[in-house]
Amino acid sequence: MTKSIIVEPRQAFSRDTVRFSDIPVNAYDRTIEEELAHYAVDDFLNMWHDMCAIREFEAILNEIKVTGSYKGVAYSHAGPAHLSIGQEAAAVGMAFSLTPDDHIFGSHRSHGEILAKGFSAIRQLGDDHLLAIMRSYRDGAILGPVEKGYSGTVRDLALRFFVYGAYSEIFARETGFNRGLGGSMHAFFAPFGIYPNNAIVGGSGSIAPGAALFKRINRKPGIVVANIGDASFGCGPVWEGITFASMDQYRTLWDQSLGGGLPIIFNCMDNFYGMGGQTWGETMGVRFIARIGAGVNPEQMHAERVNGYDPLAVIDAFRRKKYLLQQGLGPVLLDTLTYRFSGHSPSDASSYRSKEEIERWRAADGLAAFRDRLLRSGVIGEDVLDETKARVEEMVFEMFALATSLDASPRAGIDSEMVGTVMFSNRRAERFDDRQPELLQDLADNPRVQQIRGKVRTAFEDGQAVPRLKVYNVRDAIFEALLHRFAIDPTMIAFGEENRDWGGAFAVYRGLTEALPYHRLFNAPISEAGIVGAAVGYAMEGGRVVAELMYADFMGRAGDEIFNQLAKWQAMSAGTLTMPVVLRISVGSKYGAQHSQDWTALVHHIPGLKVVYPVTPYDAKGMMNAALAGTDPVIFFESQKIYDVGEMFVPEGVPEGYYEIELSEPSIKRRGKDLTIVTLGPALYTALAAADELSAAFGLEAELIDLRTAVPLNYEPLIESVQKTGRVLLVSDAVERGSVMQTVAASLTQLCFDELDAPPVVVGSRNWITPAAELEAMFFPQPRWLLDAIHEQILPLQGHTPSTNRTRGELVRRARLGV
């Protein structure tokens, strides 16, 4: 309980000074001879091997982008290639002492990190394990072409496999790690501990903490490294990820046996530039990225700057920091200094920096310097170094050539439906781990469970409305579904703002605090990007998350995490990742412009998200159950207007037992023959009132269909209804322009053109900000607006006098003004 941590005014007001400790800068200074105590000679050779491999891998990419061929192999690569030539030592140092259980996340410039981590993992895994991975990964699709005619060792085969998989991914081949759907900036290979690299600058900064969270909560070995650039420290989500990763509660409130602070290193690949903006001296003021740690927590994130031109300095830092993380003292910030001689991309003319600067860094090149040190120390001879370099360059070239061959490495045909097959995983997962879920009490003893047991599970009893406190409502329905899954899936966690003792922002979680330990239900910082990003990272690692945003209007704060991360990674992984995240988003009411907007349209537009909006207790429970049994990201909208309503459409009431409602299915709430009214969200209840009036005043029977879902959506019941009625009105509380209903109306026009007697008509909120509660009736659709729309545009209602203006002239006027 946070109540156990009392904020004492005397202590808070006492005179004090905040003290910072020194931040080491390039403190490492051991010689190769001294390091012989810590390394085998082969280790040095492997570092050299890996740095040479990375350099050659990228030199080839650069050459084909610039000249269209390399050593006689012509190839035109249309996509990006953000090269890290110059940064190899930083990548190899980072990866050297990580195990396959240690997971790295990266950026658009992560080829080197991927290769270094892959090679490091290959050296640590046994032959049988390597063979099992290569044979099972995508049913041997990558291994096939590499294995053909090859007779070397398993380890060498694995190196070839890995380089080939990376090139194939970059060249958009079926034989890539992710069937070419990730590409250069997003390639990854989870079996070796390489997790998604992100083309959104700083994207990994909010996701990687979720992976570290997964390791802590599920007691998994290993640490997480977020490799992000210096310029990414100007990105809000990175700061939010750092804030999320450094919450006190991991050490103060969580079960200490979980291990304490999050095991994560934010590793800044600090190359002084973000494209053309110079972070050192121009676009940022921090100078030393390591300084940022000082503002985060008393340990200053154990931050230090290390020389990323020296692999041994980086390895030394990673070893020490990993030890700290194992003691529960995370998070860590490392500022790994490096430099890219290459442009941001091959087309970059480096107009933002001087030739002189590039030349100075070239002269200090980490590869050449390491070679010189090895030679000077006499540990390895020149012939061995040169032979190693020649051998690995030959291997890299062979794999490049193989990946360019369309025979060996085909592309998906452009007329194929391949991408469509991986947009959703559409699987069921009862639980993601077999261990016993951690609960604090027998759920039968839970006060909320007992309270719900005394409730009436329908809205009406003996013809009377059940009183508000007695009626089983939408909140109860969502609570029941969550509790069911919490008791089955030990990996399932929930977090967001005010999630714990507060009871969830709108009391859906009341009772969960008593049932769940801290690490399964916790308060997050006010970091919407951090919250959704962490949910994505947690799911990538194989756990189930329910995250919450308090208001739909706050989605903008988590825009990238919802639109680019949550939505896209299943497809970008070609189905190797699942994304079992339910993102609960409450749609506000009575709170004015920045707290009351229905933003279903935004997520409906983004491919890769399931978007549902149930508004009855029966639907809420059945759809939450389905969302929590699936493996796809579901944006679960809830309306604050109807949290308290009881079930009025299912006469038997909401079942106490478990049931699911398929997420694609609209629900016919009332049968009718004269007109179809389709709704999404609480407009169902507006339409219900309008339908009653249509019947009473005009003798018309409206068929009421609640869409319940925006994506995926089965049009069949809508088509059947329109075939019967020939008329359709579509209503929601979202502003009319660009709403989900406009899409459904346009689709129905095409699908039912011959059967329609009038065009489908959409009524939404006005294209305005949401005004104050007292003025909402001028903004949200009212029952009489629906009658007006029917009368004016669908079917004249005898004797009806419209109170709103829906004439063509008025609609054109509003559109011209954009309101």
Ligand X SMILES: Cc1ncc(C[n+]2csc(CCOP(=O)(O)OP(=O)(O)O)c2C)c(N)n1
Q: Which residues bind to Mg ion, rule: CB under 5 A?
A: 229-231, 271, 273-274
Closest CA to 251 of 207, 298, 292, 204: 298
Residue carrying the six token digits 């290979």: 189
* Burial (0-12, 13-18, 19+ Cβ within 10 Å), 456: middle
Provide DSSP, 594-657: TT----HHHHHHSTT-EEE---SHHHHHHHHHHHHHBSS-EEEEEETTSTT----S-TT---SS
CA distance 762 to 784: 14
Contact 20, 294 (CB under 8 A): yes
Nearer to Mg ion, 340 or 500 (CB): 340
Residue at shortest CB range from Mg ion: 229
Nearest approach in angstroms of CB 276 to ligand X is: 8
CB count, 10 Å around CB of 374? 21
232 lies in the site for ligand X, by CB under 6 A:
yes
482 lies in the site for ligand X, by CB under 6 A:
no
Q: Contacting ligand X (CB under 6 A), which of 49, 55, 65, 109?
A: 109
Residue at shortest CB range from ligand X: 229
Binding to ligand X (CB under 6 A) within 658-717 occurs at none
Closest CA to 199 of 84, 106, 62: 106
Closest CA to 27 of 290, 293, 306: 306
CA distance 335 to 338: 9
Contact 683, 781 (CB under 8 A): yes
523 interface partner picked from ligand X, Mg ion, none, CB below 5 to 8 A per type = none
List 274's β-bridge partners, or say none.
277
Nearer to ligand X, 124 or 350 (CB): 350
Q: How would you label 637-661 residue by residue, b for 16+ Cβ within 10 Å and e otherwise?
A: bbbbbbbebbbbbbeebbeeeeebb
Nearest approach in angstroms of CB 547 to ligand X is: 21
Nearer to ligand X, 114 or 795 (CB): 114
What distance, in Å, lies between the first and last C-alpha atoms of the chain?
49
Contacts of 652 (CB under 8 A, 6+ apart): 458
Count residues near ligand X (CB under 6 A).
16
49 interface partner picked from Mg ion, ligand X, none, CB below 5 to 8 A per type = none
Q: Point out which span in 111-119, 153-161, 228-236, 544-552 binds ligand X (CB under 6 A).
A: 228-236
102 interface partner picked from Mg ion, ligand X, none, CB below 5 to 8 A per type = none
222 interface partner picked from Mg ion, ligand X, none, CB below 5 to 8 A per type = none
Q: Is the peptide bond before 24 cis (omega within 30 degrees of 0)?
A: no
Q: Point out which span in 142-150, 223-231, 314-322, 776-784 binds ligand X (CB under 6 A).
A: 223-231
Q: Is the peptide bond before 580 cis (omega within 30 degrees of 0)?
A: no
396 lies in the site for ligand X, by CB under 6 A:
no
Nearest approach in angstroms of CB 236 to Mg ion is: 17
Nearer to Mg ion, 230 or 665 (CB): 230
Q: Contacting ligand X (CB under 6 A), which of 195, 273, 636, 643?
A: 273
307 interface partner picked from Mg ion, ligand X, none, CB below 5 to 8 A per type = none
CA distance 739 to 763: 10
Nearest approach in angstroms of CB 224 to ligand X is: 18
Closest CA to 632 of 679, 698, 575: 575
Residue carrying the six token digits 């804030």: 243
Nearest approach in angstroms of CB 134 to Mg ion is: 34
Nearest approach in angstroms of CB 537 to ligand X is: 18
Nearest approach in angstroms of CB 649 to ligand X is: 45
Nearer to ligand X, 158 or 199 (CB): 199
Nearer to ligand X, 134 or 201 (CB): 201
Q: Point out which span in 69-77, 106-114, 254-262, 811-819 binds ligand X (CB under 6 A).
A: 106-114
Nearer to ligand X, 214 or 273 (CB): 273
Binding to ligand X (CB under 6 A) within 607-626 occurs at none
The token duo for 538 is 């947690």
Binding to ligand X (CB under 6 A) within 170-199 occurs at 199
275 interface partner picked from Mg ion, ligand X, none, CB below 5 to 8 A per type = ligand X
Cα 177 from chain centroid (whole Å) = 19
Nearest approach in angstroms of CB 198 to ligand X is: 9
CA distance 733 to 27: 60
* Burial (0-12, 13-18, 19+ Cβ within 10 Å), 462: exposed
The token duo for 315 is 């390895």
Nearest approach in angstroms of CB 564 to ligand X is: 9
108 interface partner picked from ligand X, Mg ion, none, CB below 5 to 8 A per type = ligand X
Give the 3-state secondary structure of 457-496.
CCCEECCEECCCCCECCHHHHHHHHHHHHHCCCCCCEEEE
Each as own residue / partner, the long-range contacts of residues 34-40 (CB below 8 Å, 24 or more positions apart, any chain) are: 35/312, 36/379
Build a one-symbol-per-residue string for 336-365: x at contacts with ligand X by CB under 6 A, - elsewhere. --------x---------------------
Could you give the C-alpha distances from 401 to 98, 181, 369, 603, in angstroms and in order? Answer: 30, 20, 30, 41
CB count, 10 Å around CB of 51? 27
734 lies in the site for ligand X, by CB under 6 A:
no
CA distance 248 to 245: 9
Nearer to Mg ion, 82 or 138 (CB): 82
Nearest approach in angstroms of CB 301 to ligand X is: 18
Nearer to ligand X, 92 or 795 (CB): 92
Q: Contacting ligand X (CB under 6 A), which of 120, 243, 271, 342?
A: 271
CB count, 10 Å around CB of 71? 9
504 lies in the site for ligand X, by CB under 6 A:
no
Nearer to ligand X, 200 or 292 (CB): 200
Q: Contacting ligand X (CB under 6 A), which of 274, 331, 346, 490?
A: 274
Q: Contacting ligand X (CB under 6 A), which of 229, 575, 646, 764?
A: 229
Nearest approach in angstroms of CB 353 to Mg ion is: 12
200 interface partner picked from Mg ion, ligand X, none, CB below 5 to 8 A per type = ligand X
589 lies in the site for ligand X, by CB under 6 A:
no
Could you list the active site residues? 595
Nearer to ligand X, 107 or 178 (CB): 107
Q: Contacting ligand X (CB under 6 A), which of 90, 158, 159, 231?
A: 231
Q: Contacting ligand X (CB under 6 A), which of 59, 154, 275, 358?
A: 275
529 lies in the site for ligand X, by CB under 6 A:
no
Residue carrying the six token digits 């910072």: 20
Contact 776, 769 (CB under 8 A): no
83 lies in the site for ligand X, by CB under 6 A:
no
Nearest approach in angstroms of CB 108 to ligand X is: 5
Q: Point out which span in 19-27, 107-115, 144-152, 601-609 binds ligand X (CB under 6 A).
A: 107-115
Q: Contacting ligand X (CB under 6 A), which of 92, 201, 612, 628?
A: 201
Closest CA to 598 of 583, 606, 588: 588
CA distance 219 to 213: 10
Nearest approach in angstroms of CB 89 to Mg ion is: 16
Binding site for ligand X (CB under 6 A): 107-109, 199-201, 229-232, 269, 271, 273-275, 344
